[in-house]
Amino acid sequence: MLNVLKTTFWQQHLKSKSTYSVCLKQYKKQKPQLLQSLKTVILPQNTHSPLKIAALVSGGVDSSVTLHLLKEQGYEPHIFYIRIGMKDEEGFLDCSSEEDIELTTWLAKYYGLKMDVVPLHTEYWDNVMAYALDAVRKGLTPNPDVMCNRLIKFGEFEKYWGKDFDKISTGHYANTVFEEGKTWLATAKDPIKDQTDFLAQITYPQVSKLLFPIGNLMKSEVRTIALKQNMPSAQRRDSQGICFLGKVNYVDFLRKYIGEKEGKIIELETGKILGKHKGYWFHTIGQRKGLNLGGGPWFVVKKDSEENTVFVSNGYDPESQYQKEIHLTNFHFISGNPWENTDETHEITFKIRHTPDFTKGTLIRNGENYLIQSTIPVSGVAAGQFGVVYDKDSRICFGSGVIE
């Protein structure tokens, strides 16, 4: 590259009919500028006004590799590790974060980057945990990971720390695209690891500020990079989303904060009482294990929160598990409604749980709410979960609504 710049220099000055000695003096005099030009060619995005990037790092392999990729592009991200946890009698039960912080500290030292540990325990409890407990009490199935992304990782963090940075980098498998004058949330290259369903409630200012360095990589490629860089997290198992309960058992958690109340387990088709349970909040739609009923398999297909009743159906694939219509309330469009001011039916794909599979359907506006009509019956439709809507090619994530 330097030879190319030298050649360009001589061509320009010899064309001006300067003598060789004059050209040589001018070259020596301008050599520092030529070297600076070389840096500009290699890192054009970072020479004159470098972006300030806050990198959210958990210690896992995905967020670790984002640091390597950002450094390769010439950035100097500031690492932030977010600490969250649950309340107990003495304060907060933290997630198993000691190892995570050690791994993140190693990365900061290895790459020569600044690092801060951010305590958001109170904010997590007041927002995410309060939402989750309220939903469970109402007989709904919450998704705390979705709300944690919107309210904590890109909400409270932005309010206190992220506001001082141009971009926020995260280890999610997702992408953004800029089309029609807007930034849109887009699916990742790896369909198995795609996490756009966990991001389907974020706001437009949030998606506009996010960077997803691994969005165009397969998981295997991410691990390969980590292995080549000898990262301690290279072979670490994937976490199950952001920390919700840490090492605390989910049933014990619900028992502690909601309690127990005996109720009936009833067969939906016959009305026959099959057994008892200790609270409808311990059971989710589609659940098969833990019912302690003979003659199974039995599946939870409905809950009545007012009567504290759990309804079940028998068989390996009961028809009562399935439905083709999914009603959504409080629908949130991330980058605005692409079908604004129209009541037409729109071809879409959608998800009702974290899965690599997209289901085809149509989206119909019904007043302030929306209805998904699936092309095939889908199982395990749980009230309180999010119905996530994508374009018909499963490329753009438009947003999500709460399943009624």
Domain-embedded: residue 21: yes
Domain of residue 274, CATH code: 2.30.30.280
Q: Is 220 in the same domain as 77?
A: yes
Q: Look at 314 and 208; give whichever has higher pLDDT.
A: 208
pLDDT-derived band at 28, boundaries 50, 70, 90: very low
pLDDT-derived band at 334, boundaries 50, 70, 90: very high
Coil vs helix vs strand at 39: helix
Domain-embedded: residue 6: yes
Domain-embedded: residue 176: no
**Angle of helix 98-111 versus helix 61-72 axis, rounded to 10:** 10
Structure tokens at 318: 């009961």
Q: Is 345 in the same domain as 276?
A: no
Between the alpha carbon of residue 209 and those of residues 50, 53, 55, 164, 390, the distances in Å are: 15, 10, 12, 12, 21
Q: Rounded distance, CA 375 to CA 357, Å? A: 14
Is the pTM here over 0.85, yes or no?
Answer: no
Q: Rounded distance, CA 85 to CA 248, Å? A: 11
Domain-embedded: residue 358: yes
Q: Is 15 in the same domain as 60?
A: no
Q: Rounded distance, CA 203 to CA 208, Å? A: 9
Percent of the chain with pLDDT over 90: 66
Please write the tens of the pLDDT for every residue from 32-68. 444 333 332 233 345 455 899 999 999 999 999 999 9
pLDDT-derived band at 241, boundaries 50, 70, 90: very low
Domain-embedded: residue 199: no
Indicate the helix (H) or strand (E) that contains 27.
helix 20-42
Between the alpha carbon of residue 288 and those of residues 116, 291, 315, 316, 351, the distances in Å are: 43, 7, 10, 10, 21
Domain-embedded: residue 237: no
Radius of gyration of the chain (CA): 27
Please write the tens of the pLDDT for every residue from 71-80. 999 999 999 9
Q: Is 103 in the same domain as 15?
A: no
What's at 38, amino acid-wise? L
Please write the tens of the pLDDT for every residue from 79-97. 999 988 655 555 555 555 7
Boundary residue ending a domain (316, 332, 353): 316
Q: Is 151 in the same domain as 70?
A: yes
Q: Is 305 in the same domain as 274?
A: yes
Contacts for 334 with CB less than 8 Å, ≥ 6 apart: 184, 185, 200, 202, 203, 204, 207, 397, 398, 399
Q: Is 273 in the same domain as 167?
A: no
pLDDT the model gives residue 14: 36
Range of the domain at 99: 53-171+213-228
Structure tokens at 283: 């059971």
pLDDT the model gives residue 357: 95
Catalytic residues: 148, 243
Domain of residue 334, CATH code: 2.40.30.10
Domain-embedded: residue 392: yes
Q: Rounded distance, CA 171 to CA 222, Å? A: 10
**Mean pLDDT (whole number) for 119-131:** 91
Q: Rounded distance, CA 347 to CA 373, Å? A: 10
Q: Is 96 in the same domain as 160?
A: yes
Q: Is 224 in the same domain as 268?
A: no
Domain-embedded: residue 388: yes
> Is 50 exceeded by the pLDDT of residue 378?
yes
Long-range contacts of 124-130 (CB under 8 A, 24+ apart): 124/84, 124/85, 124/148, 124/152, 125/86, 125/87, 125/92, 127/151, 127/152, 127/155, 127/156, 128/84, 128/152, 129/86, 129/87
pLDDT the model gives residue 8: 37
As beta bridge partners, residue 31 has none
Among 324, 323, 312, 263, which residue's Cα sits nearest to residue 287?
312
Count of domains in the chain?
Answer: 4
Q: Is 312 in the same domain as 324?
A: no
Q: Is 393 in the same domain as 271?
A: no
pLDDT the model gives residue 196: 98
**Mean pLDDT (whole number) for 167-190:** 97
> Is 90 exceeded by the pLDDT of residue 209?
yes
pLDDT the model gives residue 246: 56
**Angle of helix 219-228 versus helix 61-72 axis, rounded to 10:** 70
Q: Is 79 in the same domain as 118?
A: yes
